[in-house]
Chain A
Amino acid sequence: MGVSLGFHIIFALVGMGMPVLMVLAERRWLATGDEIYFELAQRWGKGTAILFAVGAVSGTVLSFELGLLWPGFMRLAGAVIGMPFSLEGFAFFTEAIFLGIYLYGWGRISRRAHVFAGFAVAVSGALSGIFVVIANAWMNTPTGLEVVNGTITHVDPIAAMANPAAFAQTLHMLLAAYAATGLAVAGIHAYLLLRDPSNAFHRRALAIALLVGGPAAVLQPISGDIAARQVARYQPAKLAAMEAVFETERGAPLVLGGWPDLDAHTTRYAIRIPFGLSLLAYHDPRAEVRGLAAIPRDDWPNVPAVHWSFQLMVALGTYMALVALWAGWVAKKRGRREGGRVLAGNRWLMKALVVATPMGFIATEAGWMTTELGRQPWVIYGILRTKDAVTPMPGLVVPFVSFTLLYCFLGVMVAWLLYRHIVRSPTVPEELWRVVRTGEWSRGAGGAGDA
């Protein structure tokens, strides 16, 4: 399940992010008549198609695996938290329908209808992501039910969906999708621009990708702050593990790095920033932070894993936010029209963007590890332990290994296909492009006027 989710999450991110890029490119094409945007929209559409197909089937695997691996969870939680999954089903359905229309509808429906279809894909993609994350948030902060003698009573699915973690987590995930996809696409085109700085195709691609990824990356630390304060309030064990805090204290320091020593109740070799944690988690330097020592050892998550995942996520997220700010500053200096040229000409920025390519995905995986491992040993926090939820079927290592292999295979194939379709670029230097555009070449773009 972990592997399936870890695999699926990447496709889910791209499934939320790519349609936005593709629609933006198409709108630019309609607005400017610039054929490069048309080419971009088509290429990104194809990329979305490949990733969506794999995302759809890996999502199917997940909805089955909820039961195949965690029947105990579903028996207990289905009635409470099935609701967002049902809604997700509908949202996903809408996404699939409109993606079909979008991909195969070039030239068959009016341009407006076509852009609308792309827009519908982007919206329903975001919605299905939101619904699923709401369900996950509920596992962290379950509401809308009471447990009496092991059976659930007073089921209230609405209250379950409005659980305390829902807002913070969905916001964080949505921004993650846009930041990760936007910066990854930007990174790929930055790499190609390093080799061919005057390529008009990559310049435009870079500009759109940054437009989606940049703001999201900059906003992400803020949403992270909201999420962290929510965790501090509702899941003290998770926060303590994230920050590797053992003793409860007022004015707790922020622990950076280090090796959490579980027996000695201390984190060795770490950098400590005085009052940092209290300040971040409660916005009050004197606030009390509960340490792991106050929590029974049986209820501890895997402290080093959670601590490091969390730190990794924060480090990568910080880097992405800084690069996005830098890019925004560079583009802003010269105004909108010259932005693309200036960006592409700044080789250090391009290099920094290339480095950021995989970061959004790694950060999301790390963040997901933080929230999932941080909740252990519970599958529903405070209500159901993971070991009580797992299927009684023996030999689970067999499906684990086979699905892992399957996913590795698919991952390689997808990477190869994307390379073929998106990266292999038309070679259009900006100067030549100007000539082409002022000349007679018009491939049915339809005289929408010049930019």
Chain B
Amino acid sequence: MTLAEILAGVIVTALNAYVLLAGADFGGGVWDLLARGPRARAQRDLVTHAIGPVWEANHVWLILALVLLFTCFPPVFAQLSIRLHIPFSLALIGIVLRGSAFAFRSYGGQRDQVQRWWGGLFAMASLVTPLLLGMAVGAVAAGDVGHAASDGFVTTYVTPWLSPFAISVGVFALVCFAFLAAVYLTLETTDRALQDDFRRRGLIAGVAVMIAGVVALALSREVTPSLQEGLLGAPWSLPLHFLTGAAAVTALVALWRRRWRWARIAAAGEVSLILWGWVLGQYPYLIPPDFTIDGSAAPLLTLGLAFGAVVLGGVVLFPSLYYLFHVFKGRASEV
């Protein structure tokens, strides 16, 4: 295993953390949007309460993945930035609006109308941003952005991320996030009725994850034979898919039987396995078909230093993170 591969692994790990943590924060926004019934207000409050202390720290995983990407694999960063300029810019607007709307709602006074306005903006941005990020991932996986620019504005900058496959990946990402959020939220309250609200939502979202996954896989057959091959043909693929499926079923069963902690572990495992499945499926490419891990890595000295920074940063980061979650998430009570 080369140093470049290790660092690529670190980047994917940061992405994984982003998906599990910030993804759930986005999902929380979706449930804010879909809050219904007599406990709509309580549902919204639960979401706000759950993500308040942690969303900024969760969000930084993306920044970390990004800075490591441009330190260790500058050409990849440049290529992605050029070809996916539009979805990234839109996602950025979404990120900005979501974060600020959340802060403004928390500090903007209790008047109902103000609350509703910011809440709506927060929820909409939470819905659109994962969709766009997922579409960008879809475009990468499809190998549509990994070669030199073709002619024409639309084919270069627009079509790749608006293909049916890319859209299906966007939807897949969104339902995964909503699923994670619903499962986590069962652990954020001791109110039985609220827990049941999110149990029901989690079950629906869990099934939706499976459906969206199958649709994306089916669509990938046409656009990305190489990814399909990677996903289905490699020696590790069968065990991986088996594990993913097992995690998915476990999550649903645990939700059904109100074993919230088990459901959380299984759901997080399921989504992580899906992410790693994609990454392994396109190994050794960072962006197929032209950018491989070793081919686009920075000089060895830079990689070594970046690795040192990761280790050093980790020494500071992990105890701090542990403390954060210990303080705010450690006391969530079990039923």
Please, which residue of chain B has its CB at the minimum distance from the CB of A90?
B313
The 0/1 profile, CB within 8 Å of B marked 1, for residues 58-101 of chain A is: 11110111111001101111111011011111101110111111
Please, which residue of chain A has its CB at the minimum distance from the CB of B54?
A100
- A104 to B78, alpha carbons, bound, how many Å? 38
Q: Interface with A: B137-145, B173-181, B271-279, B319-327, which one?
A: B319-327
Determine the chain B residues whose CB is within 8 A of the CB of A402 once the complex forms: 89, 93
Does B298 lie within 8 Å of A82, measured CB to CB?
yes
In this assembly, does A296 line the interface, its C-beta being within 8 Å of a C-beta of chain B?
no
In this assembly, does B77 line the interface, its C-beta being within 8 Å of a C-beta of chain A?
yes
The 0/1 profile, CB within 8 Å of A marked 1, for residues 68-98 of chain B is: 1011111101111110010011001101111
Checking A65, A67, A158 against B78 with a beta-carbon cut-off of 8 angstroms, the contacting residue is: A67
Known contacts A88-B67, A93-B57: A71-B82 contact under CB 8 Å: yes
Within 8 A of A (CB), among B79-133: 79-82, 85, 88-89, 92-93, 95-100, 102-104, 106-109
In this assembly, does A57 line the interface, its C-beta being within 8 Å of a C-beta of chain B?
yes
Listed residue (A61, A96, A413) with the most chain B CB atoms within 10 angstroms of its CB? A96
Please, which residue of chain A has its CB at the minimum distance from the CB of B64?
A89
Within 8 A of A (CB), among B281-316: 298-299, 301-302, 305-306, 309-310, 312-313, 316
Q: Is the interface of B mostly helix, strand, loop or mixed?
A: helix
Checking A80, A85, A93 against B317 with a beta-carbon cut-off of 8 angstroms, the contacting residue is: A93
Checking B54, B78, B100, B302 against A72 with a beta-carbon cut-off of 8 angstroms, the contacting residue is: B78
Q: Which of B's residues lie within 8 Å of A, judged by CB?
A: 52-54, 56-57, 59-60, 62-64, 66-68, 70-75, 77-82, 85, 88-89, 92-93, 95-100, 102-104, 106-109, 149, 153, 157, 298-299, 301-302, 305-306, 309-310, 312-313, 316-317, 320-321, 323-324, 327-328
Does B85 lie within 8 Å of A393, measured CB to CB?
yes
Known contacts A82-B306, A105-B327: A406-B299 contact under CB 8 Å: no
Determine the chain A residues whose CB is within 8 A of the CB of B106 once the complex forms: 49
Does A74 lie within 8 Å of B81, measured CB to CB?
yes
The smallest C-beta distance from A213 to any residue of chain B, in angstroms, reads: 24
16 chain-A/chain-B pairs, Cβ below 8 angstroms:
A49-B103, A49-B107, A64-B89, A66-B81, A74-B70, A77-B74, A79-B71, A79-B299, A83-B309, A86-B306, A88-B67, A89-B60, A89-B67, A155-B298, A155-B301, A403-B93
Checking B88, B302, B327 against A68 with a beta-carbon cut-off of 8 angstroms, the contacting residue is: B88
Does A57 lie within 8 Å of B302, measured CB to CB?
no
Within 8 A of B (CB), among A20-78: 46, 49-50, 52-54, 56-61, 63-68, 71-72, 74-78
Does A68 lie within 8 Å of B89, measured CB to CB?
yes
Does A391 lie within 8 Å of B82, measured CB to CB?
yes
Known contacts A74-B70, A96-B56, A101-B53: A60-B321 contact under CB 8 Å: no
Does B323 lie within 8 Å of A96, measured CB to CB?
no
- A104 to B325, alpha carbons, bound, how many Å? 12
Checking B68, B73, B82 against A392 with a beta-carbon cut-off of 8 angstroms, the contacting residue is: B82
Does B57 lie within 8 Å of A97, measured CB to CB?
yes
Checking B78, B98, B108 against A74 with a beta-carbon cut-off of 8 angstroms, the contacting residue is: B78
Determine the chain A residues whose CB is within 8 A of the CB of B316 once the complex forms: 90, 94
The smallest C-beta distance from B92 to any residue of chain A, in angstroms, reads: 5
Known contacts A53-B99, A60-B62: A406-B93 contact under CB 8 Å: yes
Checking B75, B88, B109 against A420 with a beta-carbon cut-off of 8 angstroms, the contacting residue is: B109
Q: Which of A's residues lie within 8 Å of B, judged by CB?
A: 46, 49-50, 52-54, 56-61, 63-68, 71-72, 74-80, 82-83, 85-90, 92-94, 96-101, 103-105, 108-109, 120, 155-158, 391-395, 399, 402-403, 406, 410, 413, 417, 420-421
Known contacts A96-B59, A392-B82: A53-B102 contact under CB 8 Å: yes
Q: Is the interface of A mostly helix, strand, loop or mixed?
A: helix
Considering the complex of A and B, which 10 residue pairs feature the smallest CB-CB distances, nearest first? A82-B71, A78-B74, A67-B81, A79-B298, A90-B313, A53-B103, A71-B78, A104-B53, A57-B99, A75-B78
Please, which residue of chain B has its CB at the minimum distance from the CB of A120?
B320
Checking A83, A100, A101, A158 against B71 with a beta-carbon cut-off of 8 angstroms, the contacting residue is: A83
The smallest C-beta distance from A111 to any residue of chain B, in angstroms, reads: 14
Please, which residue of chain A has its CB at the minimum distance from the CB of B66?
A63
Determine the chain A residues whose CB is within 8 A of the CB of B153 once the complex forms: 394-395
Does A393 lie within 8 Å of B82, measured CB to CB?
yes
Checking A157, A394, A413 against B301 with a beta-carbon cut-off of 8 angstroms, the contacting residue is: A157
Does A155 lie within 8 Å of B99, measured CB to CB?
no
Please, which residue of chain A has its CB at the minimum distance from the CB of B52?
A104
Determine the chain B residues whose CB is within 8 A of the CB of A104 once the complex forms: 52-53, 328
